[in-house]
Amino acid sequence: MNDNCLLKCASYIRYSSSKQSDGLSVEYQSAANKKTIEKIGGIFIGEYIDRATSGFYKNISKREGMQNLLQIIRDGKANCVVFNDESRLTRGILDVYRELIVPIFQTNPNTKFYRSNDSKEWDLEDVNNKRNLIDACKESEKKRAYAKQGQENMIHANRRPGSRLPLGIKAITEDSIVADDNIAIVLFIFELASWGHSEQSIADILSSMKIMPLMSDSHRELYMASKNWSHTTIHYILNNPIYIGKGVWYRRKSRTNSSPGPEDQLQFFADFPPVIPLELWNLVQAEFDRKRMFTTDNVNIEKKNKLRMNTQFKLSGIVQCARCRIKLLAKNSLKKGTQNLYTRKGEPLLYYYCPKCDTRIESTNLDKIVIQQVQKALQNGINADTISEKLQKWLSVLEKKINTKINELEAEKYSFSINPPFIKSLTNNEFDAYRELCKINMEHLKAEIKELEYYRDASKNMLSSGSIEVIASRIVNTNLEVLNIFELRHILFSSIKSITVKKGTKNEPIINEIELHGIPIPYHKLAENI
């Protein structure tokens, strides 16, 4: 047979859930496709499978199996596509033409399509085939509507709507959360995060240690797709309140946008006993807040800087110049491949410097000296009882400030609702400007109150859960020299307000002062400003 006439067939298979069976199972589709290939006298090239992939929410261009199939057609290794029925190709209609038919025919307009449920050649222009695509889409729309209605009914009944259970959770009953063996991995993830590790760092640690969860049907699809952990998986775990017993629905903005939705739109369906220690959860959330609140106060820098934990400069963002009282910046002028830390004139190549007076201090010696002195200062200056006492006093001051802001907001609302005497003298434009200013002031006050209330509640949670005792114990009893960079900088940012340094007559670093935070939690900046 002429090779140009020979059908080189690629079998395409898709299923949307590992629970699918019968006519939609991999085995059934595979057998039907191979039988059709045999019937039409084609050569089987290979199977291209999209596992646990929605044909409704995931277009053809976003499916790995389908993209691999398209590639072998471009390479000329296949000229025929065999699939079970139209619903396996898509449940969205338009992507079949735009993302499958057009790209294939641009490469090889003679490519054939066969449907294996009846072993007939498939043509998109056929009216019945178009109807099948429309029916597949309608079926998914109906399923989505039924599922959404079912979820709404369960929420109104204070029950958790059905969905994949988070890692470490075996079941959620009416009054409890049942953990499984994978909860140990969840605890390990929270422990690392509480020590300052980033989500990517945690993912890298788990992947390098080849830690994988014990598989169950509910988790297999999520974790078997890759042998490595991703930072998005870690993010989902660390931000899921179900681990402390808070049943929340509609956490995501949408199916395709996993960022958290507005707090006032979250739906709590139940409270359960937590499956991880509450103090551990609070420590992790506090660490998130620290990274969100961090800004630089250096001169000539207006932009907010993200708090970098993974850096070779251990004291970056902490040490400040004794003369200028501003934070030192860090610079690496080492040439690639060189081991020399100094120039021929004796200037350091790896150093901290003051952006105002240009004082330069070699980083390695400064890091070593400062960390030794900080260790002594922490052991003598940190005490859980003292921290708790200071935090209680700060909370009482904070409560008064919140009440003051609430009174200001009420006064602003009152001014907005009435017409003061001076209103009569305003032109229409001036009146509109006045009303707009009132609205802006009210929104600003609401935002301030919301922020203050968040810090108040977060601090109360840390007090009541025992988190302060954990923090104090870590700071006092940990040998800083054995910590990795994430953990070291976590301790330093938690406990140190500032370290003032200068350069001696022999260019040696000299520590002028180490000032500790009275309250070693990320809300200390606010506490010190009230």
Q: What pLDDT score does 387 carry?
A: 82
Q: What pLDDT score does 288 carry?
A: 84
Q: What pLDDT score does 155 carry?
A: 63
Percent share of the chain, pLDDT over 70: 79
Structure tokens at 101: 């038919």
Burial of 387 (0-12, 13-18, 19+ CB in 10 A): buried
For residues 284-306, give the mean pLDDT: 59
SS3 205: helix
Q: Over 80: is that where the pLDDT of 44 sits?
A: yes
Q: How confident is the model at residue 190 (pLDDT cuts 50, 70, 90)?
A: very high
Residues 43, 107: Cα–Cα separation, whole Å: 20
Q: What pLDDT score does 530 carry?
A: 46
SS3 467: helix
List alpha helices for 92-182, DSSP H.
94-96, 102-107, 127-156
Residues 149, 146: Cα–Cα separation, whole Å: 5
Q: How confident is the model at residue 218 (pLDDT cuts 50, 70, 90)?
A: very low
Question: What residues form DSSP beta bridges with 14?
Answer: 50
Residues 154, 113: Cα–Cα separation, whole Å: 43
For residues 138-158, give the mean pLDDT: 72
Residues 524, 530: Cα–Cα separation, whole Å: 10
Where does CATH 3.90.1750.20 sit in the chain? Answer: 159-276
Q: Over 80: is that where the pLDDT of 4 sits?
A: no
Please answer whether residues 330 and 301 qualify as being in contact, where contact means their C-beta atoms are separated by less than 8 angstroms. no
Is 8-139 in CATH node 3.40.718.10? no
Better-scored residue on pLDDT, 395 or 4: 395
The CATH architecture that domain 159-276 belongs to is: Alpha-Beta Complex (3.90)
Q: What pLDDT score does 300 carry?
A: 37
Q: What pLDDT score does 193 carry?
A: 92
Residues 470, 324: Cα–Cα separation, whole Å: 36
Structure tokens at 451: 């922020």
Q: What pLDDT score does 338 carry?
A: 59
Structure tokens at 194: 């509480």
Q: What pLDDT score does 301 carry?
A: 37
Q: How confident is the model at residue 251 (pLDDT cuts 50, 70, 90)?
A: low
For the chain, how many helices (H) and strands (E)? 17, 15
Where does CATH 3.40.50.1390 sit in the chain? Answer: 8-139
CB atoms within 10 A of CB 69: 25
Residues 306, 324: Cα–Cα separation, whole Å: 23
Q: What pLDDT score does 267 carry?
A: 60
Structure tokens at 232: 């998005």
According to DSSP, residue 97 is labeled: I
3-state helix, strand, coil in the chain (%, to 5): 50, 15, 35
Q: How confident is the model at residue 163 (pLDDT cuts 50, 70, 90)?
A: low
Low-confidence winner among 18-22, 100-104, 412-416, 465-469 (lowest mean pLDDT)? 18-22
pTM, two decimal places: 0.64
Better-scored residue on pLDDT, 524 or 335: 335
Structure tokens at 407: 């009174």
How does strand 319-321 pair with strand 350-353?
unpaired
How does strand 496-503 pair with strand 246-249?
unpaired
Better-scored residue on pLDDT, 174 or 364: 364
